[in-house]
Amino acid sequence: MIDLKRLSEPEYRSGMQRKGASADLIGQVAALNDQRHSAQLELERLRAESNTVSKAIGKASPEERPAKIEAAAVVKTALASAEQSYGALADELKALALQLPVPAHESVPDGGEDEGTVVATVGGTPDAPPMDHADFGRHLGWVDTELGADVSGSRFAYLFGGAVQLEFALVQWALAKLMAREFIPVVPPVLVREQMMIDAGFFPTDEHQVYGIGSDDLYLVGTAEAPLAGVHRGQRLTAEDLPFRYCGFSSCFRREAGTYGKDTRGIFRVHQFDKVEMFIWSNPETSWDEHELLLEIEREILDELELPYQVVNIAAGDLGGAAAKKYDCEVWLPSEGAYREVTSCSNYLDYSARRLDTRIKGESGSVFAHTLNGTAIPVARMLVFLMEHYQQADGTFTVPEVLRPFCGGIESIAPRK
């Protein structure tokens, strides 16, 4: 939810327009907000009157009461209609205001998809190995998508042997790295209520991407971001305690609706995968520093895994409603001859906290916290990149050096027999 009070600020409006919000809609929301405000004045005036009248009845003598009660009933009728019109206005305003995105930050480039700015490039663009990740995964006996399809359907896979070893090595390595940066590790629930999905900003916009457990009114999260957003929901935080940095490990479930025929090979895009996600609650003044910290960590992970990548400052038109700025880290995928997204990090400013009602107590009143999130390790996809970059000519897999301590020291893994 945007800050309606700032709707009159030109920079606020232009930041939204750069993300594709129409000036028309913005003006409509502003006008509706003014209407709502005058309706509020009228409503509160009537409520005050009604309260006064009712209190007087309590003090009145028994003989006086019948007449006073009758008079109060008249006020009640007027109040009811004022309440109805205010409620209608407020609902309409809310529905429209929810369509407005948080304004893009000034450092975000204009444009839409594919118009982001590459802000860093590390490593080269090596040629494709003999086998692409899908074939190599099968060759190693690590990934079985046929079995996954048989048991659960397309876009499901079994991981065996070395893939599992690598998964836990990646996770442990990342958690150690993050804990050293004062992130608190979390294993959150992966089934959450509808209200949590709404508050975290996934509903209604992404509802079609989410699996629902209809029998219990619960939803499988697509990312740990959803339950992590709930950690401080409705709380009043103390400025000195911030930032709170969390890293959640969870399975993630995505319906991947509308992606038929896209990324069908291997486990690049699957319905279920595990992920380590970073989430930060920050003071408003320092959230941009925290955003850079998230990027720094994501880059460090790729640097140490020695994967070639580029960092993209996503263009305004390609940002989601909640993000004021987003970096994507894209690793070179040799078999496709292209950079593909592996991690990303966003600063939501107060957009999400407003809905979550997480505030920071201050001297005069309180302010909304800022929230940020970023991917640390998307396991399945990371395995895809590793299987291409660490594939050897003899059909073996070389374990990335930083992961060896977490793999019992082995340097190489041969195909499973």
Q: Cβ closer to RNA: 65 or 181?
A: 65
Site string for RNA, 223-262 (x = CB under 7 A): -------------x--------------------------
Q: Interface with RNA by CB under 7 A: which range of 106-114, 199-207, 264-272, 359-367?
A: 359-367
Q: Cβ closer to RNA: 242 or 302?
A: 242
Q: Is 344 a catalytic residue?
A: yes
Those residues whose C-beta lies under 8 Å from the C-beta of residue 340, and which sit 6 or more positions away, are: 268, 330, 331, 333
Q: Cβ closer to RNA: 41 or 410?
A: 41
Q: Cβ closer to RNA: 91 or 300?
A: 91
Three-class HEC string of 192-231: EEHHHHHHCCCCCCCHHHCEEEHHHCEEECCCCHHHHHCC
For 377, phi then psi, to 5°, come to -135, 110
Give the three-class secondary structure for 72.
helix
| Nearest distance in Å: CB 129, RNA | 41
Q: Verify binding: residue 153, RNA, rule CB under 7 A.
A: no
| Nearest distance in Å: CB 220, RNA | 16
Catalytic residue among 245, 254, 355, 359: 254
Q: Verify binding: residue 50, RNA, rule CB under 7 A.
A: yes
Q: Cβ closer to RNA: 23 or 71?
A: 71
Amino acid letter, residue 261: G
Q: Return the C-alpha torsion angle 282, 286, 287, 293, nearest 10.
A: -100
- CA dihedral sign, ordered 391, 397, 398, 403: positive
- Number of residues in contact with RNA, rule: CB under 7 A? 28
Instruction: Out of 25, 30, 57, 402, point to the residue binding RNA (CB under 7 A).
Output: 57
Q: Is 254 a catalytic residue?
A: yes
**How far, in Å, CA of 244 to CA of 181, rounded?**
11
Q: Return the C-alpha torsion angle 362, 366, 367, 373, nearest 10.
A: 80
**How far, in Å, CA of 379 to CA of 383, rounded?**
6
Q: Return the C-alpha torsion angle 114, 115, 120, 122, nearest 10.
A: 20
Q: Interface with RNA by CB under 7 A: which range of 71-79, 118-126, 292-300, 389-397?
A: 71-79
Residues 29-48 that bind RNA (CB under 7 A): 37, 40-41, 44-45, 47-48
- CA dihedral sign, ordered 166, 167, 170, 173: negative
Q: Interface with RNA by CB under 7 A: which range of 73-81, 153-161, 323-331, 392-400?
A: 73-81
Q: Is 265 a catalytic residue?
A: no
**How far, in Å, CA of 189 to CA of 354, rounded?**
23
| Nearest distance in Å: CB 58, RNA | 3
Q: Is 363 a catalytic residue?
A: no
Q: Verify binding: residue 54, RNA, rule CB under 7 A.
A: yes
**How far, in Å, CA of 378 to CA of 302, rounded?**
12
Q: Verify binding: residue 75, RNA, rule CB under 7 A.
A: yes
Catalytic residue among 47, 269, 299, 404: 269
Q: Cβ closer to RNA: 52 or 107?
A: 52
Those residues whose C-beta lies under 8 Å from the C-beta of residue 122, and which sit 6 or more positions away, are: 299, 302, 303, 308, 309, 310
H or E element in which residue 333 lies: strand 325-333
Residues 114-143 that bind RNA (CB under 7 A): none
| Nearest distance in Å: CB 366, RNA | 3
Catalytic residue among 287, 344, 346, 352: 344
Count how many Cα atoms sit within 13 Å of the Cα of residue 103 in the half-sphere of its side chain. Answer: 17
Q: Verify binding: residue 62, RNA, rule CB under 7 A.
A: no
Contact between 305 and 386 (Cβ < 8 Å): yes
| Nearest distance in Å: CB 2, RNA | 14
The residues carrying an active-site annotation are 254, 269, 341, 344, 381
Binding site for RNA (CB under 7 A): 5, 37, 40-41, 44-45, 47-48, 50-55, 57-59, 65, 69, 72-73, 75-76, 236, 359, 361, 365-366
